[in-house]
Every structure is written in structure tokens, then in C-alpha cells.
Amino acid sequence: MVVRVATVAFEGIEARPVDVQVQIANGNVVFTVVGLGDKAVAESRERVRAALNASGLALPAKRITVNLAPADLPKEGSHYDLPIALGIMAAIGAIPQDALQNYTVLGELALDGTITAVTGVLPAAIAANARGHGLICPQASGPEAAWASQDIDVLAPISLIQLVNHFKGTQVMAPPRPAIRSAVGTQPDLRDVKGQESAKRALEIAAAGGHNLLLNGPPGAGKSMLAARLPSILPPLSPRELLEVSLIHSVAGDLAGGALTDRRPFRAPHHSASMAALVGGGSRARPGEISLAHHGVLFLDELPEFQPQVLDSLRQPLETGEVAIARANHRVVYPARFQLVAAMNPCRCGHATDPGFACNRQPNARCIAQYLARLSGPLLDRIDLHVEAPAVAAADLMLPPPAEGSKEVAARVAAARAIQVRRYAELGLPGIGSNAAAPSAVIEAVAQPDAGGLALVRDASDRLHLSARGFHRILKLARTIADLDATERVGSLHLAEALSYRIDTTRQARAA
């Protein structure tokens, strides 16, 4: 006789149905697991054996075969422990045969029979709900599973024994409640930054439209400080975005206590980060920093210090909003619509732009061009706002704090973002939440400049050697500036400001 238990395998952030088939037959005493599992799946036999023993259930002295179907879908991870154990328990009569019929099961077992947290519970719960199933998952992941739907039946036991008692009816478990992570502590406030008015303005525009930003200035000017204050002005995630972001963080095992949050992600990997850490992949498929920054910010401090290949791997996701990772036997796609915010010094020593400073190795201009040449033209072309953050004078630092803090800026950003969300929803594009994410054809229609603006762009496109991409990026930026202004039409003032943030990448390349 074969017992079947439903579980899932993850492909990117999708949970694909997997059938765990357990057969107990007479013959040699062996316990085998087949079905294209990885090392963690092979080792699950030992955990299952020990956990059943600890729960007072010995494995029968028979031939136990476990098949994970479909056999051609790779299975990774430790979450197959629980469905395998429950399949065996049903086969030996420790739980009723039909108890598992309408459940999808996932969880890892500890040797003492407790059920430990696993990654991917949220996508698994959504997949289970779509199949009309309930979900059996670890207790720690219960609050995450409860998000899948209001009436999904979630059983989140702490141990095998608790689950057995539940099925017997001696100890009925309470359903878990969806948890929200409350904002922990206070965030640093934009009010702490003295001076740097143009950098603050650029930060506000970037937050309002989801545009890519590069801050360039000498060490100690407050670039890292400004970037650290970006989360305090970003608009909260919409419910739709919240779900997408949480799915990725669930698969990455990044949802603390199974609680979701409407804060936009802000990821700041160190410049020594590897390609796998940044874009995803590695021996086990895992979303990288760019996917964890989906619908949020990827902050790369000291941008030229990142490995050039790592930086160039960002080019394609910056354009498409997703990243495809080829593995040995399959290919996974993770969403990665992130906003790139970066900071850099103008040159290696950092002071080439200081007034009166002369580099003693070579002319300042050359020093600057060489450092900038570490960044490829195509990457720079994808950055909409290039902003200088000059050193702040001591006299400025002694001024009283600015009147305007994060709260005021956040309110303007939220208003501008609301205009964008409404605009794209009215155009039948509810998935697009910012100007930066709008397709070129749409942006041409919604950012139609007036006559003066058109003349400006025509003029600048020669001067700045604008690519087609550059042109569309200028329109998007000007649209955001107009949205901050709450004006319907993109005017020449908006376009002029947008153009002022653009650099000529071909000239930089020639100077180096």
C-alpha cells in the first residue's frame, strides 16, 4: 500500500506541487528516498528515524521506500522531513490514513521530534490554498502561513507528538494569527544632515519615483549618512508589493518570526560581496541581494570598489526587473525590481574635487576619470541622478538643524507616489507603482513635454550623447519632478532639472 502526502518544491518563488509517496513492504530492512533530492533530502532519513524514535514510534523492520514525484523536478532543502515522517506514520497507523488528505505539508525535524522552521512557508501556503488544501507547517512559521488567506486551515504544531494528539482529538491546536512586524526603534532622520541641499533634493526625487541615484563627493561629506536616511522617506509598500516582497523574503528565510512588514526593503551589501551574494544562486538556489531589495533600495557604498564583473551583472536586472539564474539542471527566475542608490569618492584619494587640491600623482581630472572608469558606461547610463555632495564647511555644521526633517519630505514623496500609482492603475497597469518602472511607450505618452521642454531635450540629446535609454530615463525623471510639483504637464523647468542630473558617459570614457 502506498500513502501519499502533498508537499512542494521551490522554483524561484513559486511552490510546485510534489507528491511524497511512502511504501512499506516486506523485504530487507532498508529505508530509501528517491526522486532527485539533494544532500539535505538524503540526510532526512536519519532525522526522520531519530524523530520518530523520540516520539515513541519505531520504524517497522521492513522495506521503506519514499518517492518524491515528479522525479524530474530537483528537490532541495530540509522541508521534506515532515511529509516523509507523516507518510510513514500514516502507513504504520500512528495517525488516521485520511488525516493528511487535504493538507500540504512542510517542515524540518529535529532529532527529539520537534518541528523546526523552514524557508518558503508563505509561497507554500499560497500554493496549498490555491489547490484547496490546508497547510501543516512548523509552529514558528505559522504566522507567515496565515497570511495566505483568511480562511486557510493552518496546523502549526511544535512537535510530532502535538500533531498526533491533534489528530486524535486530545489536544486541539489553535490556528496561528498573521503577524505584522512593528517598526523597531526610530530611524535616523534627514534633519541630522547639515547642508547638502542639492543631494537632499535628489534623494527626495529618487524616493518619489524609484530612480537610480549616485552620490559623488569627498570622504566625510555625509554620503553614507544621506543614504542611511533614505528608508525614513520612502513610501510604504502597497499590499500587492508587500506580498511580492514577502514571498522572496520567505524563500530566503528572511522573515523574522514569520512576521511581515510594509517597510520597503533597504539592502546595503559590502563592496566585497560576491556575484552569487548579489544576484543570487550559489550551490543552493537562493535569492540574492538584488531580489531581497525588490520594490526597495539596493545601496552600494563605495561603488567603484565592487568587482567590475559583479557590477556589470546588475545591468540586465536593472533593465528587466528580474534575474534569471541558470543552474546545472534547471533555471530559476527571481523578481529584482530594485532602485540602485550608490555612493563614491571622486577619486582614489577622495579629494580631487576639493578646491585648491592638487593630486601629486597626476592631474586631478585624470585621477577622477581613472577612478570613474572602473564603472562601465552602460552601468552609468542606467543611473538617472548623478549628484555632487561637496564637503561641508565647519561653519555649516555649527548651524542649527534644518527646519525640515524626514517627516515633511516623506509626506511629499508619498503624495507624488500616490499620483503615480493612480496614473498607472487608470491606464490598466496596476503592477506598475512608480515612474521608474513604467515601460518606455507608456512614459512617452504620460510625460509628453510642452514645446519649451521639447526644445530643451533636442538640444541636450546632442550635448549629452543621449541614448534611447537615456532619453526615456530623462522623461521618467522629469515626470517624477512634475509629480512632486503636482502638475499635469511636464514643463521645461522639470526637464531642465532632470537634465541637470545626467552626465555624458561617453565623455567620461574618453577622459580616462
Ligand X SMILES: Nc1ncnc2c1ncn2[C@@H]1O[C@H](COP(=O)(O)OP(=O)(O)O)[C@@H](O)[C@H]1O
Q: How far is the CB of 410 from ligand X (least distance, A)?
A: 19
Nearer to ligand X, 83 or 222 (CB): 222
Within 365-424, which residues bind ligand X (CB under 6 A)?
392, 397
**Helix (H) / strand (E) containing 454:** helix 451-463
Compute the residue count for the chain: 512
In the shown chain, the binding pattern of residues 213 to 242 toward Mg ion, with x for contact by CB under 5 A and - for none, equals -----------x------------------
Within 158-197, which residues bind ligand X (CB under 6 A)?
193-196
What does 222 bind: Mg ion, ligand X, none (CB cut-off 5 to 8 Å by kind)?
A: ligand X
Amino acid in position 194: K
In the shown chain, the binding pattern of residues 332 to 351 toward ligand X, with x for contact by CB under 6 A and - for none, equals -----------x--------
How many angstroms separate the CA atoms of 234 and 232, rounded?
A: 6
Nearer to ligand X, 195 or 235 (CB): 195
Among 75, 223, 294, 295, binds ligand X (CB under 6 A): 223
Among 13, 221, 297, 482, binds ligand X (CB under 6 A): 221
- Which stretch in 223-231, 250-258, 317-325, 460-468 sits in contact with ligand X by CB under 6 A? 223-231
**Category of 302 on φ-ψ map: left (φ > 0), alpha (ψ -120 to 50) or beta:** left
User: Which residue number is nearest to ligand X in terms of Cβ?
Assistant: 222
**Helix (H) / strand (E) containing 461:** helix 451-463
Measured at the CA of 442, the angle between CA 440 and CA 447, to 5 degrees, comes to 90
Nearer to ligand X, 174 or 394 (CB): 394
User: Which residue number is nearest to Mg ion in terms of Cβ?
Assistant: 224
Query: Could you tell me how far CA 18 lies from the centroid of its own chain?
Result: 26
What's the 3-state SS for 213-240? EEEECCCCCCHHHHHHCHHHCCCCCCHH
Q: Is 235 among the residues that bind ligand X (CB under 6 A)?
A: no
Nearer to Mg ion, 96 or 220 (CB): 220
Q: Is 224 among the residues that bind ligand X (CB under 6 A)?
A: yes
How many angstroms separate the CA atoms of 194 and 190, rounded?
A: 9
Q: How far is the CB of 384 from Mg ion (least distance, A)?
A: 21
SS3 437: helix
> Which cell goes with 46?
536519519
How many angstroms separate the CA atoms of 172 and 174, rounded?
A: 7
List interacting residues with ligand X (CB under 6 A).
193-196, 217, 219-225, 343, 392, 397
